[in-house]
């Protein structure tokens, strides 16, 4: 994995680079003293992960993150931030940055993020080899499901009748929403919203074929408040309306 450390403090750059190299010699680590130099290095040699200080002269970490979002969207980025910039960094994360580290970052927290990114990159490469795969169950059998993904599925099963969001789940699991979103996408090939929708529709199909509940009642029981929207979603996904599905499976 290729990593670029961006910080205007030489001792911070060298210390972090040394920690990562000693952790695993296969990591290719380079350094840049500010955002401008980082852009130049990225143009010459794309990397997998950029770890950048949020405050630097000329081109700071936020400007660099916006540049990367446009020109290197597949590159992971982690911001280094002090307590004074903590809320600032969180806003950036909600937009495009993968995660953040509070300075001074511990060796353990640095290596945890690096190893996570490496895992996500490995899964991305494996998923690219697997596609096109249209059978979700086949995909799930081929990909090892980590603890957070299992917890996500458990959470959806327990709360699918409620107005659940990725943000509320991430808060419950005490993880960064961008990290969780990336992990789900890498491990399953689909988003959180896709999994919620899929679970709700599976439940609605069960209710359609095993109960006499009216469509609006089933709609409410699986977490939707608008029957018209539920029916459109059901037809676009299943290929027939809820009424048609019930008729087809009861005859």
Of the candidate ranges 16-20, 121-125, 240-244, the one whose mean pLDDT is the lowest: 121-125
* Kind and range of the H or E run holding 99: strand 99-102
User: What pLDDT, in 10s, does the model give residues 16-29?
Assistant: 999 999 998 889 99
User: What pLDDT, in 10s, does the model give residues 149-182?
Assistant: 888 888 998 899 998 999 888 888 877 888 888 8
143 confidence band (pLDDT: 50, 70, 90)? very low
CA-nearest of 156, 155, 127 to 140 is: 127
Please report which residue ranges of 131-226 form alpha helices under DSSP H. Answer: 136-142, 147-159, 166-173, 177-188, 192-210, 215-221
As a CATH number, domain 133-251 is 1.10.10.60
More confident residue, 123 or 234: 234
pTM over 0.75: no
Domain 2-118, CATH number (from 2.30.110.10, 1.10.1670.10, 3.90.940.20, 3.40.50.2300): 3.40.50.2300
User: What pLDDT, in 10s, does the model give residues 227-236?
Assistant: 998 999 898 8
Residue 130: pLDDT above 60? no
pLDDT of residue 116: 84
């Amino acid at each position: 994995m290729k990593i670029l450390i961006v910080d205007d403090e030489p001792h911070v750059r060298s210390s972090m680079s040394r920690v990562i190299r000693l952790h695993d010699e296969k990591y290719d680590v380079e350094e840049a003293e500010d955002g401008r130099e980082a852009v130049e290095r990225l143009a010459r040699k794309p990397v997998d992960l950029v770890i950048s200080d949020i405050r630097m002269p000329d081109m700071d970490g936020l400007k660099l993150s916006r540049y990367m979002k446009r020109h290197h969207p597949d590159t992971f980025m982690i911001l280094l931030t002090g307590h004074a910039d903590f809320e600032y960094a969180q806003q950036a994360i909600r937009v495009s940055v993968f995660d953040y580290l509070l300075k001074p970052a511990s060796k353990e927290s640095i290596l945890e993020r690096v190893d996570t990114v490496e895992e996500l990159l490995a899964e991305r490469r494996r998923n690219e080899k697997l596609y096109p795969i249209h059978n979700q169950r086949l995909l799930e059998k081929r990909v090892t499901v980590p603890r957070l993904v299992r917890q996500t599925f458990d959470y959806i099963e327990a709360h699918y009748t409620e107005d659940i969001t990725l943000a509320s789940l991430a808060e419950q699991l005490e993880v960064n929403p961008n990290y969780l979103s990336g992990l789900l996408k890498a491990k399953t090939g689909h988003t959180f919203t896709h999994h919620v929708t899929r679970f709700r529709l599976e439940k609605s199909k069960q209710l359609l074929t095993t109960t006499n509940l009216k469509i609006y009642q089933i709609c409410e029981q699986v977490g939707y408040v608008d029957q018209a929207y539920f029916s459109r979603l059901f037809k676009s996904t299943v290929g027939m309306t809820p009424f048609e599905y019930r008729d087809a499976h009861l005859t």
